[in-house]
Amino acid sequence: MEEEFLEIKDLKKSFGDGEARQDVLRGMNFTVKKGEFCVLLGPSGSGKSTLLNIIGGIDTPDSGYVSINGDKLEEMNEKELTLYRRKHLGYVFQMYNLIPNLNVKENIEVGAYLSDSPLDVEEVLATLGLEDHKYKYPNQLSGGQQQRVSIGRAVVKNPDILMCDEPTGALDYKTSKEILSLIEDCNDKFGSTVIMVTHNEAIKNMADHVIKLRDGIVRHNDRNENKIKAMELEW
C-alpha cells in the first residue's frame, strides 16, 4: 500500500471564455497510493467530478497532468485512453446507467467482457447480494439494487482503480450505507484502489485518504489513521 500509484500534478481546467470563464480546477496536486480508499470531498462546484473525469481519462486538463503507474494520461491518444479505461478503470456513477434490456447478470458481464482477468461473475453477484435477482431486468430492481449492479459491473473487471461518482447520491440512508459497505468490501477483497467523489462529509471516516476540495484547489489532504467500517457511519 506504500507505493505512489496515482499522481495529480498542477492540474488546471476551466470552462467557458471571457466573462463566462470558470476555473474549475486551479492547480491541483496530490498522490494516491495503490489500494487506497480515497475520498474526494467537496461542495457542488468544487471541481471534484471534473477531477474524477480527468483521472478517468474521459476529460482532459488544460494544464498539469495525471499519471498512473508512471504513465501520463496526456501523452495517450484516444485509443490508448480507451485501452487504459478498459484495462485499469471501473466506473460507478450516481445514476446507475444500466442497460435496460440486459438482466442483472448480463449487465455485470458487460463489464467482465472488457477485462483480461475478470472476477467470477457469480462470485461478484454473491458478494453484492444479487444472486436472487440475477435474471431480473433493471426496471424490476430498486435503486439500491440497481446501484449494486452498477458496482458489480465496475468491480467485475477487477480494475486497478474503482472510480465512484456520488454513488449514493440518489439513495436513502440505509441503502447508501449498504452500497458504501460493498465498495469497501471490494476494496478489501479485490484490492482495487477506490477514488470516490462525494459531498457527504460522513463518508470521509471510512476512507484511507481524504482530499477536501474547494474552488478548484486541494484544501486538505489527509491520511485517515482511524478509519471506521462503512456500516458504522452515521449522518
Partner 1 sequence: MKNPLIRRIPRELKTDWHKYLVIIIFMVIMIGVISGMYVGHDSMLAAIYSGRDELNIEDGSFELAKRASQAMLSDISSGEKADVRAYYIDKGNKEADRKVKEAVEEELDKNVRAGIEGAVRAQLFSFGITDEALIKSRIDEAMKNSFESALKDARESSEFKKAADEAYEKAHEEVLKEVDEKWDEVADRYDLDDEIIPVTVTVYEHFFREESEDNNGDKEEDAKVRIYKSDSEIDKASFNEGRAPEKDNEIAIDRMHADNVGVSIGDSINVGGKEFEVVGLLSYVNYLTLHESNTDLMFDAFGFDVAMVTPEAFDSLGARLHYNYAFKYDEAPETKIEKQDHSESFMKALITQSLVYDNELKDFLPEYLSQASNFAITDIEGDSAGSSILCYILIAVIAFIFAIIISNTIEKEASVIGTLRASGYSRAELVAHYMSMPVIVTLIGALIGNILGYTAFKDLAVRLYYNSYSLPVCHAVWSNTALVKTTVIPLLLMILINLFVIVKKLRLSPLKFLRHDLVKTKRSKAMRLPRWSFLKRFRLRILFQNIPNYVVLIFGVIFVELMMCFAFGLPDSLDHYAKEAPDMMFAEYQYVLMGSRDSDNNLIETSEQSAERFGTTNLMYQKNVITIREGMGSGKDESVTIYGISEDSKYITLNKETKEDSLFVSSAFSKKFGIKEGDVISLHEEYENKSYDFRVLGVVDYEGGIAAFLDIDSFNSAFEKDADDFSGYFSRNEITDIDEQYIATVITSKDILKVTNQLMHSMGGFMEVFKIALIIMSAALIYLLAKIIIERNEHSISMVKILGFKNGEIGSLYIIPTAIVVALFAVVAFVVGYFLMTGIFHIFMLQMNGYFAFYMEPSSMVLAVVYLLIGYAFVSLVDFVRIKKIPLDVALKNVE
Please say whether the beta carbons of 156 and 148 come within 8 A.
no
Please say whether the beta carbons of 89 and 164 come within 8 A.
no
Is there binding between residue 144 and partner 1 (CB under 8 A)? no
**Which grid coordinates belong to 190?**
479485490
Q: For partner 1, what does the binding mask look like between residues 79 and 108, x meaning CB under 8 A? A: x--xxxxxx-xxx-x-x-xxx-xx---xx-
Is there binding between residue 139 and partner 1 (CB under 8 A)? yes
Which CB sits closer to partner 1, 33 or 86? Answer: 86
Is there binding between residue 21 and partner 1 (CB under 8 A)? no
DSSP 3-state percent helix, strand, coil across the chain (nearest 5): 35, 30, 35
Calculated CA dihedral for residues 124, 128, 134, 138, nearest 10 degrees: -120
Is there binding between residue 228 and partner 1 (CB under 8 A)? no
Is there binding between residue 113 and partner 1 (CB under 8 A)? yes
Within positions 48 to 77, which residues make up the interface with partner 1, using CB under 8 A?
Answer: 53, 56, 58-59
Please say whether the beta carbons of 101 and 137 come within 8 A.
yes
**What are the residues binding partner 1 (CB under 8 A)?**
53, 56, 58-59, 79, 82-87, 89-91, 93, 95, 97-99, 101-102, 106-107, 109-114, 118, 139, 150, 153-154, 157
